[in-house]
Amino acid sequence: MTPIDALLSRVSMPKVTEPGLTELELMSLLKAGLRACDHGRLRPYRFILLEGEARGRLGDAMSEYLHGDLVDVSEAAIEAAKNKALRAPTLLSVIFSPKDNDKIPESEQLVSAGCAAQMIVTAAHLMGLGAMWRTGNAAYSGEVSTVLGLEDHEQVVAMIYLGRPAVAMPSPPEQDPNEFLTRL
C-alpha cells in the first residue's frame, strides 16, 4: 500500500482490546503529535496517559459528573459512564494548554492542539493500532479536570482510546471531494 493509500484508509476503531501500547508505540504517537502544524511552534498542548486503574478513576469522575449535573439520569447510565473509560487498555488525553502570545491567538492554538490529536490517531492507524477520538460533555467537566490535574486555563481536546483492533478495520465511506471544493 502506498503512503497516500494508507492515509486515505484511516478510520476510527471503536472496539479495541489488550494489550495496551508499548513504550515504543507510545513514544511514536507522541512524536507524531508533536509534528503537527503549530503556528510559532508554541506546543500549546500536553498529553496525559491513563492506563490500568487510572482509567477507573476517570470513569468514576465521568459518572460523578452525570450524577451531579443531570436530572433524571438512570442508575444504568451512571454505571455505563463508569465503564466507558475501560473500553480501551490505553487512553491518551490531549490537553489544550494555551500559551501567552501577542501574535498567535488562542483560537489558532486550539487548532494546533486539535491537529496534534489528529496526527496521533492517524499515526496509530498507520501503525496498525485501533484508535478513536472521543470527548462528550463529561470530558469537559470539572470532575474530569480534577482527576486529570488540569490547570484552570487548560481543557480536554481529545480522549484517544487506543489498543489492538478487536474487529476487522472497516473501509471508510466514499466521499466526493468536489462536493467540498469551490474553485475561484
Binding residues (CB under 6 A) for ligand FMN: these are 11-12, 132-136, 172
8 A C-beta contact, residue 134 and residue 62: no
Q: How far is the CB of 131 from ligand FMN (least distance, A)?
A: 9
Question: Smallest gap, in angstroms, from Cβ of residue 64 to ligand FMN?
Answer: 18
Q: Kindly tell me which of 138 and 147 has the beta carbon lying closer to ligand FMN.
A: 138
Instruction: Supply the minimum distance, in Å, between the C-beta of residue 28 and ligand FMN.
Output: 20
**In contact, 89 and 20? CB cutoff 8 Å:** yes
Q: Considering the complex, state which of residue 77 and residue 133 has its C-beta at the smaller distance from ligand FMN.
A: 133
The beta-carbon contacts of 172-179 under 8 Å, at least 24 apart in sequence, are: 172/8, 172/9, 172/10, 172/11
Closer of 56 and 136 to ligand FMN (Cβ): 136
Could you tell me the smallest distance in angstroms from the CB atom of residue 126 to ligand FMN?
A: 14
Nearer to ligand FMN, 12 or 101 (CB): 12
**Which residues fall within 8 angstroms of residue 10, CB to CB, at 6 or more apart?**
121, 122, 125, 126, 172
Best CA proximity match to 44, nearest among 91, 121, 111, 93: 111
